[in-house]
């Protein structure tokens, strides 16, 4: 039995969650999928999966073997892409994940222009304000705000997100408007839990960065949820300018502390490090970086 075929089948079983789903993904029968797994287990001298009629779970051996195998398969896919000439012309499906703030306002325009330039590429955009595992969740590219995580991913800087402290007119009428940074301690602040410094907002003054501790009854992991809470009059939030620019123009939201400058949030595009980027990844990242120059 072909060992690489068996390894590929094993990876699909883990990723898809069952023999039947792996069979569909590999165009094999479920019994043949089972044969591949048993072949590997015999070759390795131990169980890879504990299986019942209802579920399956990786053994310790299976988990260690899977972590190595998914890297091997990623390298193999990269080698096949080279051989097929996919690095010469962008084509195929590109899976991108991004925060709601930039993903709902800025990215659609950029993606539309990119797709017009590269007609053989399809893009699946998934908006998520939480950090994701590119390899485990099958993403090619991630756009993330905040400091670059020490994750081993390849990062490229984009234009930082400018932030705006804002509240609704109803909240200001009810609770008053902060005049200085220290006043924020007396207000309900809707904080973003995805920040690298939750509970602390940073502002830039002539003397440097000023940290300001904030608190409130609501903390969320989504910029859209922050905006909705602030529009509802719950409190003050530090929001991406691109997300609330229309609200500020129409008066639905009001900028508070207008003489203070919040520290911008760094923005990066991230890729996996363990293979050469395919043409679709490389061209998209280059296009994105050109549109969002840091």
Q: Is the pLDDT of residue 18 over 90?
A: no
For residues 75-83, give the mean pLDDT. 68
Q: pTM of the prediction?
A: 0.65
pLDDT at 117: 94
Average pLDDT over residues 284-288: 93
DSSP secondary structure of the chain: --HHHHHHHHHHHHHHSSHHHHHHHHT--HHHHHHHHHHHHHHHTS-SEEE-SS-EEE-HHHHHHHHHHHHHHHHHHHHHHHHHTTTTS--EEEEEEE-HHHHHHTHHHHHHHHHHH-TTEEEEEEE-SS---HHHHT-SEEEEESSPPSSS-EEEEEEEEPEEEEE-HHHHHHH----SGGGGGGS-B-EETTSSSTTEEEEEETTEEEEEE---S-EES-HHHHHHHHHTTS-BEEEEHHHHHHHHHHTSSEESSTT-EEPPEEEEEEE-SSSPPPHHHHHHHHHHHHHT--
Q: What is the pLDDT of residues 189-227, one digit of tens each?
A: 999 988 878 899 999 999 899 999 999 999 998 888 999
Banded model confidence at residue 231, pLDDT cuts 50, 70, 90: very high
| Domains of the chain and any CATH numbers | 3-84 (1.10.10.10), 92-159+266-291 (3.40.190.10), 163-263 (3.40.190.10)
């Amino acid at each position: 039995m072909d060992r690489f075929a068996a390894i590929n089948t094993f990876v699909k079983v883990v990723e898809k969650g069952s023999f039947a789903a792996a069979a569909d993904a590999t165009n094999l029968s479920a019994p043949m999928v089972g044969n591949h797994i048993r072949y590997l287990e015999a070759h390795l001298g131990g169980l890879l999966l504990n299986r019942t009629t209802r579920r399956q779970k990786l053994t310790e051996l299976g988990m260690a073997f899977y972590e190595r195998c998914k890297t091997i398969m990623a390298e193999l896919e990269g080698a096949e892409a080279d051989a097929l000439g996919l690095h010469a012309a962008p084509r195929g499906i590109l899976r991108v994940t991004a925060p709601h703030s930039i993903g709902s306002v800025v990215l659609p325009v950029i993606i539309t222009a990119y797709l017009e330039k590269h007609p053989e590429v399809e893009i699946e955009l998934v908006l998520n304000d939480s950090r994701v595992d590119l390899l485990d969740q099958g993403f090619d590219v991630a756009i993330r705000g905040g400091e670059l995580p020490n994750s081993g991913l390849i990062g490229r800087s984009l234009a930082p997100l400018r932030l705006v402290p804002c509240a609704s007119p109803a909240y200001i009428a009810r609770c008053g408007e902060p005049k200085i940074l220290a006043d924020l301690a007396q207000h309900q602040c809707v904080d973003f839990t995805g920040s690298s410094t939750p509970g602390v907002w940073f502002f830039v003054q002539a003397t440097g960065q000023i940290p300001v501790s904030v608190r409130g009854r609501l903390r969320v992991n989504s910029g859209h949820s922050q905006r909705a809470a602030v529009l509802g009059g719950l409190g003050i939030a530090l929001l991406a300018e691109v997300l609330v620019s229309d609200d500020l123009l129409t008066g639905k939201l009001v900028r508070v502390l207008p003489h203070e400058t919040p520290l911008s949030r760094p923005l990066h595009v991230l890729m996996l490090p363990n293979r050469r980027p395919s043409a679709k990844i490389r061209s998209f990242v280059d296009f994105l970086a050109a549109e969002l120059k840091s």
